[in-house]
Structure 1
Amino acid sequence: MKITQLFQEHGVHTKAEKGSHIFQEGERAESIFLIQSGTIQISKETESGKELTIRICSNEGLIGESLLFCKLNYHATTAKALEASELLVVHNDALELLLTEHPSLMMDYLKWIQTENMKNQSRLRDLVLHGKKGALFSTLIRLANTYGEFRSENEIYINYALTNTEMANLCATSREMINRMLNDLKKHGVITIGKGYITILDLQFLKDEIDCENCPLSICRID
């Protein structure tokens, strides 16, 4: 049995309308969610009101930052539906019991946790080593790996529309900074943008600029 099958057998079905919150930062974390359809944004807000988008999750993505086997825990992030979504919910107590009874499921869950940790570490590495440019370039690469449609070896159409403000939230910077960097990439023929959809014309350039380590596709993603 896999984690997804566990949710299908034991989860409670719920729906989230576009713009609604599945959980919010600071709330008691009591359940974990499996996305069946739709798109969910995981974000964190600073005291000044600035929003940082951490992940954009879709089908079969697990969300819910609760630490299992820890009785006092609160969500460190906020989950918002970017479109009408359907999810399966399993309470922490039930999931803890099921994982305890099925060691193979526990291993599957631990692998998911480890993959998420590696994703976060790689994003932090790019931001620390290469600053705002690294954040943007690595985000474009991750978007290509998650939503990209390859038209040639280097040309990739990202089939997911983003405003510059949404892109700025993903890169932990301002919309004005993103505008300048995107315009510079367009000027040099690295990308094109039409109606919010980005096409990468020179993927290798982006990789070279941030000393890309060619992480596995399971790590270099935005979801």
Structure 2
Amino acid sequence: MIEQKDKLKAQNGSKQDGGIQQFFSQENQELLRGIMYPKHVEKGSNLFWEGDAADYLYYVRKGRIKVTKSADDGKEFTLYMHHKDDLIGYGDVLSESVHLLSAVAIEDCDLGVIQRKDLEVLLWQHGDLAVEFMRWQGATHMLTQTKMRDLLMFGKTGALCSLLIRLNNSYGEPCGEHRRITIKINNTEMSDMIGATRESVNRMLSDMKKEGIIDLVDGHIVIHDLEYLRNVCHCDNCPAHICRV
């Protein structure tokens, strides 16, 4: 029975905690849901592109969304992977601005869409909601800063170790004495998330496997030594809503 549950969790691939519950009271969550309208996005479809008007926020009811940034040479970096109960918005949604990033569905998704004008009215009417919204925006900015730190401060090995920690916080579950990442993520996807080549990621993961830091079981990464990963990337022990993919 336990094994069957583990298989189901791996297939579903995401943790069901976190999301907007960390920032908004139950009452204010209901206020936000009250101004949403439903939208279905099929796998592979873009939610928005860099340069599009940032007139909407998106709440993930089901599925996963990948958020990317394009470099001048055309290379695409994966900055975020959003899942159930996440609120997505990049750019100043409270003024006329554009998205600084692009978003694409990596699974069929059911979303709730919030129009900027509707949100402005709600924030004017409910001061406590406005405070919680500012807290959510602040956490989003902090998440971006920590990811830039990963990419710039401690080399590709440090960035990969940080990514593995973030994957554990977002999709990890107990596996005996270790931790298993419940989603399957390939080396090309990981290379896009740390700005490295696929070959470099292959080599670094192979070295970690030889040293007993990680293992690969049925396509899932199993972390044996989380403390080693934290030491390599000089982990600041950020809260889980910051240290996530």
Tell me the TM-score range normalised by the shorter chain: over 0.9
2:79 and 2:147 in contact (8 A); partners too = no
- Asked if 1:174 corresponds to 2:208, the answer is no
The CA distance in 2 between the partners of 1:118 and 1:15, in whole Å, is 29
Structure-1-length-normalised TM-score: 0.93
Number of residue pairs the alignment of both structures matches: 220
Structure 1 counterpart SS, 2:192: helix
The CA distance in 2 between the partners of 1:166 and 1:4, in whole Å, is 32
Structure 2 counterpart SS, 1:118: helix
Mark the CA change 1:196 to 1:51 in structure 2 (over 3 Å): closer, same or farther.
Answer: farther
**One-letter code of the match for 1:170?**
M
Stretch of structure 1 that moved more, 26-35 or 124-133: 124-133
Task: Give the structure 2 partner of residue 44 of structure 1.
Answer: 69
Structure-2-length-normalised TM-score: 0.85
Mark the CA change 1:162 to 1:10 in structure 2 (over 3 Å): closer, same or farther.
Answer: same
What's the RMSD between the two structures over aligned residues? 1.5
Of 97, 110, 114 in structure 2, the residue corresponding to residue 90 of structure 1 is 114
- Asked if 1:163 corresponds to 2:186, the answer is yes
The CA distance in 1 between the partners of 2:126 and 2:28, in whole Å, is 11
The CA distance in 1 between the partners of 2:161 and 2:87, in whole Å, is 26
Task: Give the structure 2 partner of residue 7 of structure 1.
Answer: 32
Structure 2 gap ranges (5+):
1-25
Task: Give the structure 2 partner of residue 119 of structure 1.
Answer: 143
Instruction: Map 1:140-151 to 2 at 5 A.
Output: 140-151=164-175
Structure 1 counterpart SS, 2:160: helix
Shift of 1:3: 4.8
The CA distance in 2 between the partners of 1:175 and 1:117, in whole Å, is 28
- Asked if 1:187 corresponds to 2:210, the answer is yes
Task: Give the structure 1 partner of residue 83 of structure 2.
Answer: 58
2:59 and 2:85 in contact (8 A); partners too = yes
2:62 and 2:110 in contact (8 A); partners too = yes
Of 55, 64, 67 in structure 2, the residue corresponding to residue 30 of structure 1 is 55
Q: Deviations over 1:3-42 (max 9, x none)?
A: 5323321111000001111111111121111110100001
Structure 1 gap ranges (5+):
none
**One-letter code of the match for 1:169?**
D
Give the 4+ runs in structure 1 shifted more than 3 A: 1-4
2:57 and 2:93 in contact (8 A); partners too = no
The CA distance in 2 between the partners of 1:70 and 1:63, in whole Å, is 16
Task: Give the structure 1 partner of residue 41 of structure 2.
Answer: 16
The CA distance in 2 between the partners of 1:125 and 1:39, in whole Å, is 24
- Asked if 1:103 corresponds to 2:127, the answer is yes
